[in-house]
Amino acid sequence: MDLLKRGQIPPYPQFYELLYSYATGVNPSLNQRVNQIFRDGTATQELAERLYNEFLKSQDANERISNVSERMATRIEAVHEAIDTAMATANAYSGTLQSASGDLGNDMNEAELRNMAQKLLGETRRMQDANAQLEQKLDASRDDIAALQRDLDEVRRESMLDPLTKIFNRKSFDEGLLKSFNEAAGEGTPLCLMLLDIDHFKRFNDTWGHQTGDQVLRLVAMTLKSNIKGKDMAARYGGEEFAAILPETDLEGAIIVADNIRKAIQAKELLKRSTNEKLGRITASMGVAMYKPGDTPASLIERADRCLYAAKHAGRNRVLSENELKDDVKIVA
């Protein structure tokens, strides 16, 4: 709220979300842009809207790819036109030189030689101008293509993120787990997997509405991401379930990380802004499993999943590791 007041930006939900993301530091690119704006003293509602649309608003990746493709096609067409023009000028210049070469074989007086020299000079200048224009267009195209490449990289990055929570999506999780799994198997380093499920989320969602539920999902995602570091990877696994891949972390360390996340989530009390009505606190249950020789990604996920639902069965708002897992635990949602 202080940041909103500092920028004289109205406290609309999207702007609150924007500066909440900034305050958590989960998006370095966003923070760099906001820091520059605050340094320049140019914060406006319009700028905040643009930043929200760029960094937080869900956008269709196919639409963005289509837009980049159209821009790329336009730029390539412009390059082709510039090259065609330069080639036509070069051909005309070559014809002029050949014609002059033929004329020089004949006897020419001083006036005729002077006229030929002026004509050749004019054609040479025209050729130089054409080459200069081609250079300018190629330079502009090079810059545009570099910008388009950055846009494509950004689209690729966006395609790896969950559009609602802005942490990695399920596809990225699957790829990240396989990579970490192969590293742990090849190098003999520890690897843990944590699964997290928001307690009673459906009841909360049904009571307070899907918009409030979406804010809860974002809050949990940001809390999860801000409490891991290094090679760790936070992802939305599906629905109200999240995951964290913890390379080079043993089971004891993973349990500590998970419990810190659980406490950080529980510490946040939700208020309805319009009435200051207390909506309660969010809690989460977590299961933690560690890679063992002979594991597959599926078997590691299955053990972490059993731990998660055993934690929910044991009373929720707790972390349960595979060392505490009992074979006879009844799994309930």
Q: What is the DSSP letter of 11?
A: -
Pair 195, 237: CB distance under 8 Å: yes
How confident is the model over 138-179, as pLDDT tens digits?
A: 777 777 777 767 776 776 777 788 988 989 999 999 999 999
Instruction: Give the pLDDT confidence score for residue 328 in this predicted structure.
Output: 45
Mean of the per-residue pLDDT values for the chain?
Answer: 83
Whether 46 has a pLDDT exceeding 70, the answer reads yes
- Least confident piece of the model among 74-88, 251-265, 282-296, 312-326: 74-88
Q: Residues 17-26: contacts with CB within 8 Å, 24+ apart?
A: 17/52, 17/56, 17/215, 17/218, 18/48, 18/51, 18/52, 18/55, 18/56, 20/222, 21/55, 21/56, 21/166, 21/222, 24/222, 24/225, 24/226, 25/226, 26/166, 26/167, 26/222, 26/225, 26/226
- Least confident piece of the model among 99-113, 240-254, 267-281: 99-113
Mean pLDDT of 50-66: 67
Whether 190 has a pLDDT exceeding 90, the answer reads yes
Whether 82 has a pLDDT exceeding 80, the answer reads no
Mean pLDDT of 60-68: 63
Mean pLDDT of 320-324: 93
Mean pLDDT of 2-16: 79
The catalytic residues are 240
